[in-house]
Amino acid sequence: VTLIIDENDDPLGEPWCEIMGLPETGRSNAALVDILEADLAQFINRADDATIRNEDKLDKELKRIVRQSAQNEIGKKPEVTVVVSRLS
């Protein structure tokens, strides 16, 4: 999962995912990456400023969302790496 945060602590676009070793589609017959990205975008759009500013909390929540969505779609909780780039 990759997310870019600007100097004002606002997300620059939406988070995106790269999947490796997972099925392309899940139970809903939609692309797994699209489902994960949509769930992450929903979280980012409703997350409060304190969560966006807190690196550990943001990482933890992004991982939780991906693992939960993947569990629902493919029945597996994948290993998740989160990269948050902050512009200064």
Domain range for 21 = 2-86
C-alpha dist (Å) from residue 22 to 12, 26, 33, 38, 53: 27, 9, 10, 17, 31
Confidence (pTM): 0.93
pLDDT at 88 over 90: no
Q: Whose CA is closest to 69, among 20, 21, 34, 18?
A: 34
Query: What is the pLDDT averaged over residues 50-64?
Result: 96
Query: What is the pLDDT averaged over residues 57-83?
Result: 97
- Please list the residues that pair with 9 across neighbouring strands: none
Number of domains in the chain: 1
- Please list the residues that pair with 38 across neighbouring strands: none
C-alpha dist (Å) from residue 26 to 21, 42, 61, 76: 13, 19, 22, 10
**Amino acid identity, position 58:** L
